[in-house]
């Protein structure tokens, strides 16, 4: 089961759980606002799900193929993982959503008993699959595993996710490049809203699983508003901001969040997809975001990059060959507290896969701890000071720093 940090335990005592939220038969996901940071408006909150309670803002490790790469569910629990994400497209292609339904759902299949969010599959259809062709009905494509022709529509995305049984499902949207023409984006936004309506109608288990809408609109303020208003009309249990962190600058992302979040309901969770950089996590929380996910921590771990309080460490670098200090004394995962940098360096140099496990768990714990500390900073109305300290320590203020 999920484990809570000391501060999260304190929050549980300070703000007792609401009985009516715990047992609401109709709403599988309920957001509770606990505190608004005085200087920024950042939200300290709580999400009730059928698989546990999580505090926000929070970060979700990504388990693409029903496994967070190189990390076991037991490892996830040990570092206080609250929520994970898994990818609809990958599970649909292999092993198939029917098989996972037969297994009793994704939680049971992968033995993760905390909440799970699944994406719609749309992003991978654009980034991984071949020959994709979009129409009002959906997307035709050939999958990246065996090249078979497949068709993804709002209804298919729901059927798959209903089979997976995730706590939060995402509507199918179109993943578009950031810099598209106004007309293209406008058409795409309008279609995404129509797809959201179809998704809501197709949703077979609304009392068990919460469908989130995805606000698109690239950098166009009026289109973000159009998107948000169309989706909010559908009264979905949560909303995501999509189409960010796809190559635009951080300033641009913050600019879009600044106005987009204002149109998102305050009584529902707000999710920013695909973000894990420490500065972006803090800056987005400042703008009112509650949920994040990204493959970054586990992906860079597999190449030996560690995220630490004091910035990036590339453990394969020769300087660590005889560095007998702990991997990261500030981070409480098993590996960081037990092995030296020299040992982890050796594991990577010798292609011993234990190294990938140690580095992956480490990076996840770094981010989960950052979020725990962020929640505490929000509670204490010290988020600006927290931001300055984290960025200074991590090296954001150094010229030419390679951060990841």
The binding site for substrate consists of 119-123, 173, 216, 243
The window from 106-114, 185-193, 210-218, 292-300 that contacts its own copies (CB under 8 A) reads 106-114
Residue 171 or 356 having the CB closest to its own copies = 356
Please say whether the beta carbons of 231 and 215 come within 8 A. yes
Decide if residue 343 touches its own copies (CB under 8 A): yes
- Please give the Cα distance from 389 to 218 (Å, whole number): 31
Cβ atoms of residues 91 and 64 within 8 Å: no
- Separation CA 265–CA 238 (nearest Å): 8
Residue 111 Cβ vs its own copies, minimum distance, rounded to whole Å: 5
DSSP alpha helix (H) spans, 246-308: 250-260, 278-286, 296-301
Q: Which of 39, 94, 250, 398 binds its own copies (CB under 8 A)?
A: 94
Q: Decide whether 25 or 318 has the Cβ nearer to its own copies.
A: 318
- Between the alpha carbon of residue 114 and those of residues 82, 86, 117, 167, 201, the distances in Å are 7, 13, 10, 9, 27
Residue 99 binds its own copies, judged by CB under 8 A:
yes
Contact between 354 and its own copies per CB under 8 A: yes
Q: Rounded to the nearest whole angstrom, what is the least distance from the CB of residue 204 to its own copies in the complex?
A: 22
Does position 299 bind its own copies by CB under 8 A?
no
111 lines the binding site for its own copies (CB under 8 A) = yes
Mark whether 98 is an active-site residue: no
Among 19, 23, 324, 399, binds its own copies (CB under 8 A): 324
Longest CA–CA separation in the chain, Å: 60
Using CB under 8 A, which of the segments 168-176, 288-296, 344-352, 374-382 binds its own copies? Answer: 344-352
**Is 75 part of the annotated catalytic residue set?**
no
Rg of the chain taking only CA atoms, in angstroms: 21
Size of the site for its own copies (CB under 8 A): 40
Q: In 144-290, which ranges are E strands?
A: 149-152, 168-170, 210-215, 238-241, 270-272
Smallest CA-to-CA distance from 210 within 31, 18, 12, 23 is with: 31
Q: Sort 245 into a burial class: Cβ within 10 Å, 0-12 / 13-18 / 19+.
A: buried
Specify the stretch interacting with its own copies by CB under 8 A; choose among 48-56, 90-98, 163-171, 244-252.
90-98
Q: Which is nearer to its own copies, 165 or 217 (CB)?
A: 165
**Which is catalytic among the residues 8, 283, 293, 328?**
293
Torsion angle (degrees, nearest 10) of CA 184, 186, 190, 193: 100
Which C-beta is closer to its own copies: that of 253 or that of 313?
313
Least distance (Å) between residue 69 CB and its own copies: 7
Token duo for residue 170: 């995402």
Helix (H, G, I), strand (E, B) or coil at 233: coil
* Minimum distance of its own copies from residue 167's CB (angstroms): 19
Cα–Cα distance measured from residue 11 to residue 44, given in angstroms and rounded to the nearest whole number = 10
Overall size of the chain counted in residues: 404
Least distance (Å) between residue 363 CB and its own copies? 16
For binding to its own copies (CB under 8 A), which residues are involved? Answer: 65-67, 69-74, 90, 94-95, 99, 102-104, 109-111, 321-322, 324, 334-335, 338-340, 342-343, 345-347, 349-350, 352-354, 356-358
Catalytically active residues, by annotation? 119, 293
């Amino acid at each position: 089961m999920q484990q809570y940090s000391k501060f999260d335990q304190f929050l549980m005592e300070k703000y007792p759980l609401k009985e009516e939220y715990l047992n609401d038969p109709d709403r599988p996901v309920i957001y509770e606002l606990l505190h608004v940071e005085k200087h920024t408006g950042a939200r300290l909150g709580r999400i009730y799900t059928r698989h546990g309670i999580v505090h926000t803002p929070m970060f979700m490790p990504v388990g693409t193929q029903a496994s967070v790469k190189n990390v076991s569910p037991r490892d996830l629990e040990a570092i206080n993982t609250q929520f994970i994400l898994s990818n609809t497209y990958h599970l649909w292609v292999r092993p198939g959503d029917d098989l996972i339904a037969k297994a009793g759902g994704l939680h049971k299949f992968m033995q993760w008993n905390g909440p799970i969010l699944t994406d719609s599959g749309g992003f991978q259809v654009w980034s991984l699959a071949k020959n994709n062709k979009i129409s009002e009905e959906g997307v035709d494509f050939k999958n990246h595993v065996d090249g078979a022709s497949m068709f993804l529509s709002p209804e298919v995305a729901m059927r798959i996710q209903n089979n997976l049984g995730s706590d939060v499902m995402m509507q199918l949207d179109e993943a578009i490049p950031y810099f598209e023409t106004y007309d293209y984006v406008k058409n795409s936004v309008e279609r995404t809203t129509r797809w959201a309506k179809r998704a809501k109608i197709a949703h077979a288990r609304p009392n068990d699983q919460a469908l989130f809408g995805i606000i698109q609109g690239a950098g166009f303020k009026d289109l973000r508003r159009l998107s948000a208003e169309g989706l909010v009309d559908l009264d979905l249990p949560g909303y995501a901001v999509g189409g960010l962190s796809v190559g635009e600058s951080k300033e641009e992302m913050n600019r879009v969040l600044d106005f987009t979040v204002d149109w998102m309901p305050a009584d529902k969770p707000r999710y920013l997809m695909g973000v894990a950089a420490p500065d972006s996590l803090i800056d987005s929380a400042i703008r009112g975001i509650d949920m994040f996910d990204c493959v970054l921590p586990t992906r860079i771990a597999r190449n030996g990059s560690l995220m630490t309080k004091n910035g990036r460490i590339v453990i394969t670098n020769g300087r660590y060959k005889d560095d007998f200090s702990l991997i990261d004394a500030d981070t409480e995962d098993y590996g960081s507290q037990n092995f030296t940098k020299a040992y982890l360096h050796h594991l990577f140099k010798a292609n011993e896969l234990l190294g990938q496990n140690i580095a992956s768990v480490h990076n996840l714990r770094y981010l989960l701890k950052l979020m725990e500390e962020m929640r505490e900073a929000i509670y204490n109305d010290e988020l600006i000071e927290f931001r300055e300290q984290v960025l200074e320590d991590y090296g954001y203020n150094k010229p030419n720093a390679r951060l990841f």
